[in-house]
Amino acid sequence: MGTKSDYVLEVTDLHKSFGTVKAVDGIGFAAERGEVFTIIGPNGAGKTTTLEMIEGLQKPDRGSISILGMEWGKDTEAIKMKIGVQPQSSALFDLLTVEENLDVFASFYEKRRPIEDIIEMVNLSEHRGKRVKTLSGGQKQRLAIGLSMINDPELIFLDEPTTGLDPQARRNIWDIVRKLKSLGKTTILTTHYMEEAEQLSDRVCIVDQGKVIAIDSPRALIGRLTREREVRLTFAGGAGAAAAAEGAARMGAAAVRVEREQDRLTIWTANPEETLYALFRYTHEEGLAVEQVSIREMSLEDVFIAFTGKEWRD
Ligand SMILES: Nc1ncnc2c1ncn2[C@@H]1O[C@H](COP(=O)(O)OP(=O)(O)OP(=O)(O)O)[C@@H](O)[C@H]1O
């Protein structure tokens, strides 16, 4: 982590307005070589506009973008050789086969990754001779990612590669992102799926209203949340047993808040272990049977809600 030369992409104070709408309002970040860097944010946060400026498709009103030390305008052709942008599915040639699509895209570049390699990497060996129009949504997305790799780029942009795919198809795409990482590629990802961001990202950048709200690893972001955990218990003895345990839980020093609904007890505590230890000692002494117990882990979704004040929806 850290020295300036490790940055593959540096974005500084980026601005872009459409009329009175400030789509991007001072966004800055730097992505390190080999990491999966994910931008998440609510609809309209400015993710696509940011990516399109980085990809050279839109011109910023203000701010700078450095890609492998190069700049759009000065080093345009050189940048194009070094980056890979996943095309929209609609940009694929429907009547051509998987292999023919790769051939066409390959013809745009001098430096190429062998097509054989790519087909294997995106797991399309069995479908190489099929026309694009006969492929499933997930297969098309895999081909699109394959096309972004055709020039063997160092930096790859995947804009919502799994949107609309079923869970298995999404996981197949995750495998490809992990393979890219194992090859040492840097991936800039956007997604609407929190679980995906949490699973795949080395670092996550939360964007809201054109601004960066937080950047860190999923673990570190979750760690910034309050340390309280939610502990839930149900009791075989029903509401009476839960009420007795509720009294005991309220006596415990670690519990911040206790709620009971029928036979279910919910305790918010900064120290779940201590809380449970004290509570189990009590239930054991009183002969109360605990039926179920769980501690809810904080997720990236909780982080998102805490930082943006907005509910998340897939
Ligand atoms: N070409 C344009 N003309 C006018 N307004 C635009 C244009 N492109 C984007 N905007 C506005 O800029 C804001 C940011 O849009 P952007 O598409 O970058 O957000 P996003 O985070 O990618 O959203 P989503 O998650 O819905 O894809 C929105 O308010 C959007 O309506």
Q: Summarize pLDDT for 132-171 with one digit per residue, the tens.
A: 999 999 999 999 999 999 999 999 999 999 988 999 999 9
**pLDDT band, very low/low/confident/very high, at 313 (cuts 50, 70, 90):** low
Determine if ligand 1 sits within 6 Å of the CB of residue 49. yes
Q: How far is CA 22 from CA 17, 63, 291, in A?
A: 4, 14, 53
- Take atom 26 of ligand 1 and give the residue whose Cα is closest: 43
DSSP letter for 52, please: H
For residue 16, the ligand 1 atom closest to its alpha carbon is 12
Q: Give the pLDDT of residue 252.
A: 76
Give me ligand 1 centre to Cα 215, in Å: 21
Q: Is the pLDDT of residue 4 over 60?
A: no
Bridge-based pairing of strands 264-269 and 229-235 is: antiparallel
Q: Model confidence over 202-218: pLDDT tens digits?
A: 999 999 999 999 999 99
From the CA of 286, how far away is ligand 1's center (Å)? 60
Q: Distance of alpha carbon 102 from its chain centroid, rounded? A: 27
Q: Which atom of ligand 1 is nearest to the CA of 46?
A: 18
119 lines ligand 1 (CB under 6 A): no
When the pLDDT of each residue in the chain is averaged and rounded to a whole number, the result is 92
Buried-exposed string 150-181: b where 16+ CB fall within 10 A, e elsewhere: bbbbbbbbbbbbbeebeeebbebbeebbeebb
Q: Whose CA is nearest to atom 11 of ligand 1?
A: 23
Is pLDDT of 80 > 60? yes
Mutate which of 14, 17, 18 for ligand 1 pocket (most atoms within 8 A of beta carbon)? 18
Reported confidence tier of residue 308, pLDDT bands at 50, 70, 90:
confident
Q: What is the mean pLDDT of residues 87-109?
A: 92
Beta carbon of 41 within 6 Å of any ligand 1 atom = yes
Which pTM value belongs to this model? 0.84
Q: What pLDDT, in 10s, does the model give residues 240-280?
A: 999 999 999 888 777 888 999 999 999 999 888 889 999 99
Q: What's residue 52's pLDDT?
A: 95
User: What local confidence, expressed as pLDDT, does residue 2 receive?
Assistant: 46
Torsion angle defined by CA atoms of residues 136, 142, 143 and 148, in that order, rounded to the nearest 10 degrees? 150
Best of 49, 190, 207 to mutate for ligand 1, by most ligand atoms within 8 A of CB? 49
- The predicted model gives 52-69 an average pLDDT of 96
- The alpha carbon of 253 and the centre of ligand 1 are apart by a number of angstroms equal to 49
> Do the beta carbons of residue 195 and residue 203 sit within 8 Å?
no
Cβ(299) – ligand 1 distance below 6 Å: no
Q: How far is the CA of 107 from the centre of ligand 1 (A)?
A: 33
Segment 231-248, tens digit of pLDDT: 999 999 899 999 999 999
Q: Percent of the chain scored above 90 by pLDDT?
A: 76
Distance between CA atoms of residues 17 and 200, nearest Å: 31
pLDDT of residue 312: 64
Comparing CA positions, the residue from 59, 46, 42 lying closest to residue 29 is 46
The residue type at 90: S
Q: Taking residues 163-180, what's their average pLDDT? A: 93
pLDDT in tens, 61-79: 999 999 999 999 999 999 9
* Contact status, residue 204 vs residue 196, Cβ threshold 8 Å: no
Q: Is the pLDDT of residue 314 over 70?
A: no
Q: Which has the higher per-residue pLDDT, 48 or 223?
A: 48
